[in-house]
Amino acid sequence: MAGNTIGKLFSLTSFGESHSDCLGGIIDGCPAGLNIDFEFIKEEIKRRKPKDNKISTSRIEEDNVEFVSGIENGISLGTPICFIIKNQNFLKQDYKNIKELFRPSHADFTYFKKYGLKAETGGSRASARETLSRVIGGSIAKLLLKNYNIEVEGEIYSIGRWDFATQKDEIEDDFKKIIEEGDSLGGVIKCTIKNCPIGLGEPVFDKLSADLAKALISIPAAKGFEIGDGFEASKEYGSNQLDHWNKDFSTKTNHSGGIQGGISNGMDITLKVAFKPIATLYREIPCIDKDGDIYNVENKGRHDKCFIPRAVVVVESMVALTIADHLLRSFTNKIK
């Protein structure tokens, strides 16, 4: 199964399924001499854990990460950093009733058609459980970026149709609705990269914007991506979208979102990622078998009704991995 690695000089390869014995990853290209803050990594993992059992999964894992190579006495060795996390709280019996069925809007059918089989339990590699490896890889990337004063800050922009900053009551009402009706909600996460140096990005196919888009759209349920003014910019006249100069080469506005020609320009990089509602509902849903027969089946698994609060750190992690990779690549662009 190809496609499990992201990054060229600073890379993460992830492995494991939602109901396998363990999952983990290999970080390659991390420079030697980086101080590995294990408490920071634990806090990053904690940010991804279920926060509210009313809307989050009731599957609670310890998520204790074990680093098995690449680190000695808390310092990176410059060799591949391998880590594993054991799955402990999984209930394979919850999936017996859909063992031979394909759920609507899930990866069950596409995985089956691509590989000729599908995992009998959970969402396999398509499960959001896989994002734990991304968060651990991203935490190492953040530690590297910290040495260059680069900050990655994510926040919830909206949940459902509601603005997160100003419409909390409406969001709470929607949460009550999805709990009562066994439904789900999506949302939008905004991320800002501060103090990013000028010159990150490799035209033409490895533009910083293109690699950020790939990294973020690879997150489960991600369906939309924009940088700067994004889709709203398409409604404007070009004269309203020019980022005019200041004398220090910064710009008076930041409609471009910190990237021009696929290369960072020194302004804050601003982006948004839209996530569809999770497809697994706590109600009867029509599933189809290999013969095309449709059955109404009730979900018995443990899933989030809204993953957005837990996804902020996942978005930050994918951004950090991408920026770290392009930062190392930028050191090869010209003779200093």
List, for residues 231-284, the tens digit of each pLDDT value.
999 999 999 999 999 999 999 999 999 999 999 999 999 999 999 999 989 899
pLDDT of residue 50: 87
What one-letter code names the amino acid at 254?
N
pLDDT digits (tens, 9 = 90+) for 113-157: 998 887 766 667 898 899 999 999 999 999 999 999 999 999 999
Q: Is the pLDDT of residue 1 over 60?
A: no
CB 176 within 8 A of CB 169: no
Please, are residues 4 and 13 in contact by the beta-carbon 8 Å criterion?
A: yes
Q: What is the 3-class SS of the chain, one letter each residue?
A: CCCCEECCCCEEEEEECCCCCEEEEEEECCCCCCECCHHHHHHHHHHHCCCCCCCCCCCCCCCCEEEEECEECCEECCCCEEEEEECCCCCHHHHHHHCCEECCCCCHHHHHHHHCCCCCCCCHHHCHHHHHHHHHHHHHHHHHHHCCCCEEEEEEEEECCEECCCCHHHHHHHHHHHHHHCCCCCEEEEEEEECCCCCCCECCCECHHHHHHHHHHCCCCEEEEEECCHHHHCCCCHHHCCCCECCCCCECCCCCCCEECCEECCCCEEEEEEECCCCCCCCEEEEEECCCCEEEEECCCCCCCCCHHHHHHHHHHHHHHHHHHHHHHHCCCCCC
Domain definitions of the chain by residue range: 5-330
Contact indicator for 304, 141 with CB cutoff of 8 Å = no
Residues 49, 132 contacting (CB under 8 angstroms) = no
The pLDDT tens digits of the residues spanning 8-64 come to: 999 999 999 887 889 999 999 999 999 999 999 999 999 999 876 678 876 777 899
pLDDT, one tens digit per residue, over 62-74 is 899 999 999 999 9
Q: Which two tokens stand for residue 216?
A: 């973020």
- The first and second tokens of residue 322, run together, are 């991408």
CATH topology classification for 5-330: Chorismate synthase, AroC fold (3.60.150)
Cβ pair 208, 201 in contact under 8 A: yes
Q: Give this prediction's pTM.
A: 0.96
Mean pLDDT across the chain: 93
The pLDDT score that the predictor gives to residue 95 is 67
